[in-house]
Copies of this chain bind each other. A is one copy, B any other.
């Protein structure tokens, strides 16, 4: 532990995509799924444009003291009829650059997302975390989440 880092959370810009992809790839599960190259595969840039066009999705980054991008998180606000028509918040793709871990950056990102979802009228925030991510499960429990559901997936 090196104490809690001061970060600034702001919307991701197109110039951040490479830094975000590097964080997604710097991960036990992400390593096999991402493709880090220069220039970046166009599928990432196209996906960023789709995210930007979607008013219910916020992709944010955490900026460190020097202005570098050291974390990211995607929050989706999903309208729906259940729970008397309350929207749900869905958190995806939480990452912190490896050399900045254990400094409270992920915690600040997730607390931002929970507060943001609440301010948008959500009564529930949900996320899926892989069965093997035991540390992540402990982390989310510390922030008030419950392991109430089974997260089921099918990949093509």
Nearest-CB distance from A62 to chain B (Å)? 15
For A52-94 the 0/1 string (1 means CB < 8 A from B) is 0010110100000000000000101011111111111010110
CA distance A114 to B156 in the complex (A): 10
Measured CA separation A1–B80 after assembly (Å): 31
CA distance A123 to B32 in the complex (A): 14
- Can you tell how many copies of this chain the complex includes? 2
Minimum Cβ distance to chain B for residue A33 (Å): 5
Are A155 and B123 in touch, CB under 8 angstroms?
Answer: yes
Distance in angstroms between the alpha carbons of A128 and B124 in the assembled complex: 13
- Bound state CA distance, A88 and B129, in angstroms? 15
Q: In the complex, which residues of chain B have a beta carbon less than 8 angstroms from the beta carbon of A124?
A: 153-156
The chain B residue with its CB closest to the CB of A12 is: B81
Interface string of A82-116 (1 = CB under 8 A from B): 11111110101100000000000000000000100
Nearest residue, chain B, Cβ from A140? B152
Q: How far is the CA of A51 from the CA of B82 in the complex (A)?
A: 12
Q: Closest B-chain residue to A124, C-beta based?
A: B155
Is A150 interfacial (CB 8 A cutoff)? yes
